[in-house]
Amino acid sequence: MKKIALVLIVAVLACSMTFAQGAQEAAGAKDSFELVMLVKSQGNGFFDACYNGAKEAQAELGNVTVEYMGPAQTTAEGQIEIIEGLISRGVDGIAISANDADALIPVCKKAMAAGIKVISFDSGINAGGRIVDLIPSNTSLIGQQQVQLASELIGDAGQIAVLSASAQATNQNAWIEAMKVEMKNHPKMELVEVVYGDDAPDKSYRETNALLQKYPNLKCIVCPTTVGLLACSQAVKDAGAKVEVTGLGLPSEMKGYILDGTCKQMALWNPIDLGYTSTYILEALLTGKATGADGTSFSCGRMGTVNVETNGIAVMGTPFVFNKDNIEQYAAIF
């Protein structure tokens, strides 16, 4: 009799514990969360720095773990496959730098319907496919600055070309559109072509050589991608071409080319801060500290308050400009 009573008590206890845990989860009161930073592709130093920021946030927050993932190439298909796997695994949140603004929407909708919090950062997913899109700086400002950096190098006159990342990249495409607007203020400059290196060093190197051959009067190549700028600088230097190079570059990768004058100036924001802020945003969404609705804000540790403007877009700071005077200082950080 005693034995039966004991079994009953244990069974009741086990049931109530399971129930309590279920109720807690249903109320969104989990106390630790599995996050994934899904980047455009593997082997990109810019994203490695973003992930360092995510790990910094993980250490501060204490209730999240962030895993770093990316396809081998910068394709939407590769990212979709990974997201399908993450839905099956049942992770809690995903921060995505998207290879395509629209192609990822259906799979991200599916993830959100399964209870996963999805945000984009760096390279956005259009509204409907994410809660918030965290962009590093104002898009027009980045485009203007890219043209102005080139203009200063070539005396505001002559042919320029753009070596971009992939043809579908949300961020580069938006910046290139903003560059075209700014080109109207530089009537003696001409944008001859936009080519795509897919954020692959070898393709970016080949595309640079093709530009050098095709346009003998080319004055400057603008690369709004860290992978492209590095490969382009190498190609221009190897070819001994008298062509200026500028764009968005990672100081730690570009230090040598800045110091030897291949790329006299370039811009970028802090990728560590971008990854750090993304992690704070996901944690706030998961714990219910914030909703991400337009007009609201997130409190992001040492980055302070980040506001959500319209269509779920949140914007960080102003890009830095790097040249031989400050490159060593920044190269030591990212």
Residue 226 makes contact with ligand RAM by CB under 6 A: yes
For ligand RAM, the binding residue among 100, 122, 207, 283 (CB under 6 A) is 122
Q: Would residue 60 be called left, alpha or beta, if left means φ above 0 and alpha means ψ between -120 and 50 degrees?
A: alpha
For ligand RAM, the binding residue among 165, 282, 285, 306 (CB under 6 A) is 165
Structure tokens at 58: 């993980």
Distance, CA of 238 to CA of 37 (rounded, Å): 35
CB-closest chain residue to ligand RAM: 46
Report the nearest approach of ligand RAM to the CB of residue 169 (Å): 6
Site residue total, ligand RAM (CB under 6 A) = 13
Residue 125 makes contact with ligand RAM by CB under 6 A: no
For ligand RAM, the binding residue among 75, 79, 99, 123 (CB under 6 A) is 123
Residue 248 makes contact with ligand RAM by CB under 6 A: yes
Part of the chain binding ligand RAM (CB under 6 A), chosen from 17-25, 27-35, 103-111, 224-232 = 224-232
How far from chain centre, in Å, is Cα 117? Answer: 17
Residue 46 makes contact with ligand RAM by CB under 6 A: yes
> Of 206, 219, 317, which Cα lies nearest the Cα of 264?
219
Report the nearest approach of ligand RAM to the CB of residue 30 (Å): 31
Q: List contacts with ligand RAM (CB under 6 A).
A: 40, 44, 46, 97, 122-123, 165, 171, 199, 225-227, 248
